[in-house]
């Protein structure tokens, strides 16, 4: 199942938690970030968000989606599995 998310960044005013902050699209905290660059999309896992944010660099081979996770802060409202295995649709440990 995919959930609609709001991705804020890069160039956040406060980057203490990373270059990007992610909330669900309907989270009340989105209002606090209204001055930041916002990108919306529907995602099924956290790793999918990272793949999307860093797609250019991942395609270049200069980083992986796992590397990119370090620069993304997922707010508690985002209740998605870390990753979904395509062949069995379950969450790896």
Residues at the contact surface with Zn ion, assessed by CB under 5 A = 23, 27, 29, 75, 77
| Between 64 and 81, CB nearer to Zn ion | 81
DSSP character for 60?
H
| Between 39 and 64, CB nearer to Zn ion | 39
| Between 5 and 47, CB nearer to Zn ion | 5
Nearest distance in Å: CB 90, Zn ion: 26
- Contact assessment for residue 54 and residue 48, using Cβ atoms and an 8 Å cutoff: no
| Between 39 and 63, CB nearer to Zn ion | 39
Nearest distance in Å: CB 70, Zn ion: 20
Written as one string, the DSSP assignment of 47-58 is HHHHHHHTHHHH
CA distances from 73 to 25, 87, 88 (A): 15, 28, 27
Nearest distance in Å: CB 52, Zn ion: 18
72-74 and 38-43 strand pairing:
unpaired
């Amino acid at each position: 199942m995919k959930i609609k998310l709001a991705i804020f960044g890069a160039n956040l005013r406060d980057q203490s938690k990373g270059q990007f902050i992610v909330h669900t699209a309907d989270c009340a905290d989105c209002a606090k970030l209204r001055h930041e660059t916002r990108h919306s999309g529907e995602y099924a896992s956290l790793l999918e968000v990272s793949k999307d944010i860093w797609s250019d660099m991942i395609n270049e081979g200069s980083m992986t989606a796992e590397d990119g996770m370090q620069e993304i802060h997922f707010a508690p409202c985002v209740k998605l599995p870390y990753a979904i295995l395509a062949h069995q649709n379950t969450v790896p440990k």
